Structure 1
Amino acid sequence: MSEQDHDATVEKIEEMDDTGAFESGLPGFLGTIDEAIAKTEAVILAMGVILMAINTCVNVIMRFGLGKGLFFSGEVNRVLIVLITFAGIGYAARHGRHIRMSAIYDMLPVLGRKILMVIIGFFTAAAMFFLCYFSAGYIDTLIDRGRILPALSMPIWIMYIWVPIGFAVTGIQYLLTAIKNLTSEDVYLSTGVVDGYADTESEV
């Protein structure tokens, strides 16, 4: 990698660290769609966490202040936990934030890391699509059984609808990451996140 390319890479990493914004590495219309999905996921996650905090706080206040909590509070939190978890796995994949065991990976040269990221991307995408298929089958089973949440009187399958969606979005992200590494010179943790560390401590 040339010094100019290295500086551009470091600048991009620093920019993402400072702003927290996601810029898709996909071209044209696909990039626009990718960024729109990223913003939607961010809003869903933020609202989910805020609603869970409000629901829990109100329930605690009512339980200790009035002696009786919200009868539906537990079920609301269950729905929100599923939503946050499975919307979050796609968000984490998009930003390259999933936990990685990188002891061996970090010792490899650029070409070795690129090859490993391609393998990881394709393998993880296959695993996510596999889980998406079986989670969709599980939802179909729940629909057939007609189970509902007692307090909310809501079909229980609605609570799990984010499971296959989350797996599908994550699988697509890893698939695109593998393709990105096949078609670019740098090593990418996701379509918009370059693998590397910003050397900010040396700056005066």
Structure 2
Amino acid sequence: MLRRIEKYFEPTVIVICLSAIMLLVFADVIARFAFSTSIVIANELARISFVYLIYFGISYAIREHRHMRVTYFVDKLPHALKRIALMISETVFLIYSITICYYGVEITQQAIERGKTLSATQWPTSILYAAIIFSGLLCSLRLLHSLYRIIILGETDLSPKEEVAS
């Protein structure tokens, strides 16, 4: 069960967010042109969906090792040096993700204290900022797993292993 959640969590959130964006924007366009009106909350909900899509997409890219990085020189290194280079890069990225998560908590707390709300839905703005926290946590977990694979298992090829259907 946990393996399925781990495998499908981010893609599910991303698909739901993208679907919501397309549906909301499409409905708002139809409402504007066909009925000369607008769906007031459509733009705001699409923006929230877009923010979550982006932040969960970052975590998914880390999990799949598809985030931007230049590996030309690292790929040319011998196995032992390649492991060290990967450990350093993943550790720096982990520190960055933890820092992002920390500041996400700070920003979200400030938004809660100020009591600001989104204009159309009247939801607290902290809902938008919470995406930073979720993404930072997921990224940190993904990077910790990557470091485990490098340090404990000795792997240097971090691309996801394809599961063979039986």
- TM-score, structure 1 as length reference: 0.73
| Structure 2 match to 1:50 | 19
The one-letter code sitting in structure 1 at the alignment partner of 2:133 is P
| Structure 2 match to 1:85 | 54
| Structure 2 match to 1:109 | 78
Matched, 1:152 2:121: yes
| Structure 1 match to 2:68 | 99
Q: Matched residues in 2 for 1:114 and 1:153: separation?
A: 49
The one-letter code sitting in structure 1 at the alignment partner of 2:156 is V
Q: Matched residues in 2 for 1:177 and 1:122: separation?
A: 10
Count residues in correspondence.
Answer: 162
Which gives a bigger RCO, structure 1 or 2 (Cα 8 Å, sep 6+)?
A: 1
Q: CA deviation at 1:35?
A: 4.1
- Shift in alpha-carbon separation, 1:188–1:171, aligned structure 2, 3 A: farther
- Select the structure of larger CA radius of gyration: 1
Q: Matched residues in 2 for 1:103 and 1:38: separation?
A: 28
- The root-mean-square deviation of aligned C-alpha atoms, in Å, is 1.8
Q: CA deviation at 1:57?
A: 0.9
Determine if contact 1:48/1:84 at 8 Å carries over to the other structure: yes
| Structure 1 match to 2:43 | 74
| Structure 1 match to 2:88 | 119
Determine if contact 1:95/1:193 at 8 Å carries over to the other structure: no
- Pick one of 115, 121, 136 that aligns with 2:105: 136
User: Which stretch has the larger CA shift, 150-159 or 64-73?
Assistant: 64-73
Matched, 1:161 2:122: no
Q: Secondary structure at the match of 2:68?
A: coil
Q: Matched residues in 2 for 1:124 and 1:74: separation?
A: 33
Identity of aligned residues (%): 21
Q: CA deviation at 1:34?
A: 5.0
| Structure 2 match to 1:26 | none
Matched, 1:41 2:10: yes
Q: CA deviation at 1:73?
A: 1.7
Q: Matched residues in 1 for 2:136 and 2:28: separation?
A: 32
Matched, 1:178 2:130: no
Unaligned runs of 5+ in 2: none
- TM-score, structure 2 as length reference: 0.89
Q: Matched residues in 2 for 1:90 and 1:67: separation?
A: 40
C-alpha offsets along residues 16-67 of structure 1, whole Å, 9 cap, x if unaligned?
xxxxxxxxxxxxxxxx635413312221111110111111111111112222
Q: Secondary structure at the match of 2:16?
A: helix
